[in-house]
Structure 1
Amino acid sequence: MKKNFGDNWPPKIKVWMDRVNYDWETAQAMHKAGRYLYVVFMCQQAIEKTLKAILASQGKEIKPIHNLSKLAEIANILEEIDKGTHVFIDKLSHYYLNARYKETIDTLSQAIGKTEAKEYLTKTEKVIIWLIQKMTSLP
């Protein structure tokens, strides 16, 4: 598992990628601590901030949007995301919104154990790497 995703970024992107790295490291720390729901929460945050780094690289306004599919749409990359990844980021968005506003921790935690949390980490790492590749290949 990657420790972080680098820090050699232009200033307008670096502010976001520093947050990506912090959230990514926090997700891994939560896994080690057995706080599996917060692994999912921090995975969502890391992908959200990677998408906002893409928006910054495009010179677009960064709005307080937390829906990952909506952010990908604004970045004009939603159509390039495969179906499995799209389902995954929608699931992350669901957990993020419900963890903050709707469901109890007990309810949300029922489906997230050590194995599931590790799967979220693995998938999140792949998504972030893909998003960074997209960002660095954009004109």
Structure 2
Amino acid sequence: MENEIDRWIKRSEEDFETAKANFKIRKYRFASFLCQQAVEKALKALLLKKTKKIIRIHDLVELGKRVDIENNYYDSLEKLTYVYVDSRYPDTSDKDYTLQETKEDLKIAEEVIKWIKKKI
């Protein structure tokens, strides 16, 4: 079980590193999407630790509830859940992701992943 948890965390870390790399080359939409992915995988690692199973959902708020995440993270999880759909499909939004928005997404991801790693 620990190996599987480690794999989820490793993928989370890879996604977060790739998000930062995309941010540096001003690919803000991709960077924000990868922030969502990194947090989702970290949450699933913690869920796996707590329940011994993975659920196939992408709603970070729901995943957060299932791992008893601290209340102050729920708004951030909601924001990144929106990014999951909005950043992927051209018919959901025509907005451009800005440097500031993506900086915020990177900060959210970093904080949430750090919290999760402490729990694992």
Cα distance in 1 for residues equivalent to 2:13 and 2:23:
15
Structure 1 residue aligned with 2:81: 93
Cα offsets for 1:25-56 (capped at 9, x unmatched): 11001101111011111110000000000011
The answer to whether the Cα contact below 8 Å between 1:12 and 1:57 also exists between their aligned partners in 2 is no
Larger Rg: 1
Per the normalisation by structure 2, the TM-score is 0.87
Secondary structure in structure 1 of the residue aligned to 2:87: helix
Which residue type is aligned with residue 71 of structure 2?
I
Cα distance in 1 for residues equivalent to 2:43 and 2:95:
25
Please list every run of at least 4 consecutive aligned residues from structure 1 whose deviation after the TM superposition is greater than 6 angstroms.
Answer: none
Secondary structure in structure 2 of the residue aligned to 1:26: helix
The answer to whether the Cα contact below 8 Å between 1:95 and 1:108 also exists between their aligned partners in 2 is no
Which residue of 15, 21, 25 maps to 1:33? 25
The answer to whether the Cα contact below 8 Å between 1:44 and 1:93 also exists between their aligned partners in 2 is yes
Structure 1 residue aligned with 2:116: 131
Unaligned runs of 5+ in 1: 1-9
The answer to whether the Cα contact below 8 Å between 2:64 and 2:74 also exists between their aligned partners in 1 is no
Which residue type is aligned with residue 74 of structure 1?
R
Per the normalisation by structure 1, the TM-score is 0.77
Q: Are 1:81 and 2:71 counterparts?
A: yes
- Percent identity between the aligned chains? 36
Secondary structure in structure 2 of the residue aligned to 1:73: helix
Cα distance in 1 for residues equivalent to 2:76 and 2:51:
27
The answer to whether the Cα contact below 8 Å between 2:28 and 2:102 also exists between their aligned partners in 1 is yes
Structure 2 residue aligned with 1:103: 92
How well do the aligned residues superpose, as a CA RMSD in angstroms? 1.8
